[in-house]
Amino acid sequence: MKQFNTIADLQQYLNEKRQDNAAIGFVPTMGALHEGHLSLIRAAKATCDFSVCSVFVNPTQFDDKGDLDRYPRTLETDAKLLTTEANDVLFAPSVDDIYPPGLNTAHGVDFGHMASHMEGAHRPGHFDGMAQVVRRLVDIVGCTHLFMGQKDYQQQALCREMFRQLNYDVEVVTCPIAREADGLAMSSRNRHLSPEERKNAAGINMTLRWAKEAATILSPLQIIGLATDMLNSIPGARMDYFEIVDGITLERVNSFDEADTVVACTTVRIGKVRLLDNMILKAV
Ligand code: AMP
């Protein structure tokens, strides 16, 4: 695996690859890699000629400075894991290289309501920072395919919408959620849970699995009411939201007939840790 820490070095290398018309699969991450990230690398390797993984803790998507400071930085271990997966290129740029003073790096897209509810309502500015860095990184890498996790459902839906509005010829591939044995979605934040909280956190996925079964007999509104009670009754837990939405537009649905794809999205705080999860309740 090659590692580049500057845009100039990365682009010099990738320009040669592009001349051969290679399909370049790109996996943007913030590091602290786990099985979920590695499943994206495997998908990129299986689909494309070439895989590029970035590790960049993007300061513009953190609404909470303490959260940014606490974010785990484990580049050496990440590089070892990526080598084991035979990833082709690791790109680990500096903040100054990504956001040089004077350069306009705004994402330039109007997401409307798509970005203002669910995560958007709880983390002001988060999605603007996320879209900014994804657009910037995709511009730098010049990938043909972008691999993202279903784990951050709203994020991948917004990136699809961004490339649609910008007319980018980039295929977004959304990969399934990698989970622990008890169903908890893998996340770099799970390491901040105490053993007791970690055990209780399995209740989030249990509730989503219940919602999937209930979708055959109950309405979205009924499921939201009962799921809210279930999540808030997990010891030490406080639900931020539980929504049932159209999988493309992210608009709330009142009936499962309203959209081809319907997804339940939730975020629950257990102790100080915010845990995101979702479940596709209906797909065509
Ligand atoms: P992050 O480093 O948290 O910004 O995540 C980088 C990418 O990995 C995003 O596309 C996430 O959706 C994806 N990802 C994170 N956790 C998981 C998981 N448990 N399963 C699948 N993909 C994931």
| Whether 208 and 87 share a structural domain | no
Angle at CA 66, nearest 5°, toward 131 and 117? 40
| Whether 80 and 217 share a structural domain | no
Residue 38, C-beta contacts closer than 8 angstroms, at least 6 positions apart: 81, 85
| Whether 144 and 268 share a structural domain | no
pLDDT at residue 64 greater than cutoff 90: no
End-to-end CA distance of the chain: 39
283 lies in a domain?
Answer: no
Q: Specify whether the CB–CB gap between 225 and 253 falls below 8 A.
A: no
| Whether 138 and 223 share a structural domain | no
Given 125, 145, 175, the domain boundary residue is 175
Q: H helices of the chain, where? A: 7-19, 35-47, 65-70, 75-84, 95-98, 119-122, 126-141, 153-166, 195-200, 202-214, 220-232
Per-residue model confidence as pLDDT tens digits over 16-56: 888 878 999 999 999 999 999 999 999 999 999 999 999 99
| Whether 156 and 262 share a structural domain | no
| Whether 21 and 125 share a structural domain | yes
Residue at 45: amino acid letter: K
16 lies in a domain?
Answer: yes
181 lies in a domain?
Answer: no
Per-residue model confidence as pLDDT tens digits over 221-268: 999 999 999 999 999 999 999 999 999 999 999 999 999 999 999 999
Centre of ligand 1 to C-alpha 217, Å, is 32
Q: Specify whether the CB–CB gap between 79 and 118 falls below 8 A.
A: no
For residue 31, the ligand 1 atom closest to its alpha carbon is 2
Q: Return the structure tokens found at 268.
A: 């629950």
pLDDT value at residue 128: 98
The length of the chain is 284
The mean of the pLDDT values for the chain is 97
pLDDT value at residue 284: 87
246 lies in a domain?
Answer: yes
183 lies in a domain?
Answer: no
215 lies in a domain?
Answer: yes
| Whether 128 and 195 share a structural domain | no
For residue 185, the ligand 1 atom closest to its alpha carbon is 19
Q: Return the structure tokens found at 125.
A: 């500015």
| Whether 194 and 250 share a structural domain | yes
Domain count, the chain: 2
Q: Specify whether the CB–CB gap between 110 and 146 falls below 8 A.
A: no
- Among 37, 56, 278, name the best residue to mutate to test ligand 1's pocket (greatest count of ligand atoms within 8 A of Cβ): 37
| Whether 164 and 25 share a structural domain | yes
pLDDT at residue 90 greater than cutoff 90: yes
Centre of ligand 1 to C-alpha 37, Å, is 5
Torsion of CA 182, 187, 193, 195, to 10 degrees: 30
pLDDT at residue 78 greater than cutoff 90: yes
180 lies in a domain?
Answer: no
Q: Return the structure tokens found at 247.
A: 């999988």
Q: Return the structure tokens found at 250.
A: 């992210």
Q: Specify whether the CB–CB gap between 127 and 119 falls below 8 A.
A: yes
Higher pLDDT, 65 or 182: 182
pLDDT value at residue 86: 98
pLDDT at residue 169 greater than cutoff 90: yes
Mean pLDDT for 139-145 is 97
Centre of ligand 1 to C-alpha 233, Å, is 27
> What are the beta bridge partners of residue 50?
24
Centre of ligand 1 to C-alpha 218, Å, is 31
Mean pLDDT for 276-284 is 97
| Whether 162 and 203 share a structural domain | no
- Among 132, 152, 180, 205, name the best residue to mutate to test ligand 1's pocket (greatest count of ligand atoms within 8 A of Cβ): 152
Given 175, 208, 235, the domain boundary residue is 175
Residue at 28: amino acid letter: P
What is d(CA 227, CA 241) in angstroms, rounded to the nearest whole number?
10
Centre of ligand 1 to C-alpha 214, Å, is 27
pTM (global) more than 0.85: yes
Nearest CA to ligand 1 atom 5: 29
Nearest CA to ligand 1 atom 14: 149
Question: What share of the chain has pLDDT > 90, as a percent?
Answer: 95
284 lies in a domain?
Answer: no
CATH number of 207's domain: 3.30.1300.10
* Pocket (CB within 6 angstroms of ligand 1): 29-30, 36-37, 39-40, 148-149, 151-152, 175, 177-178, 185-188
What is the residue range of 152's domain? 2-175
Q: Catalogue the active-site residues.
A: 37
CATH number of 143's domain: 3.40.50.620
Q: Specify whether the CB–CB gap between 143 and 150 falls below 8 A.
A: no
| Whether 259 and 228 share a structural domain | yes
CB atoms within 10 A of CB 105: 14
pLDDT value at residue 43: 98
| Whether 170 and 205 share a structural domain | no
Per-residue model confidence as pLDDT tens digits over 102-130: 999 999 999 999 999 999 999 999 999 99
Given 127, 142, 175, the domain boundary residue is 175
pLDDT value at residue 20: 79
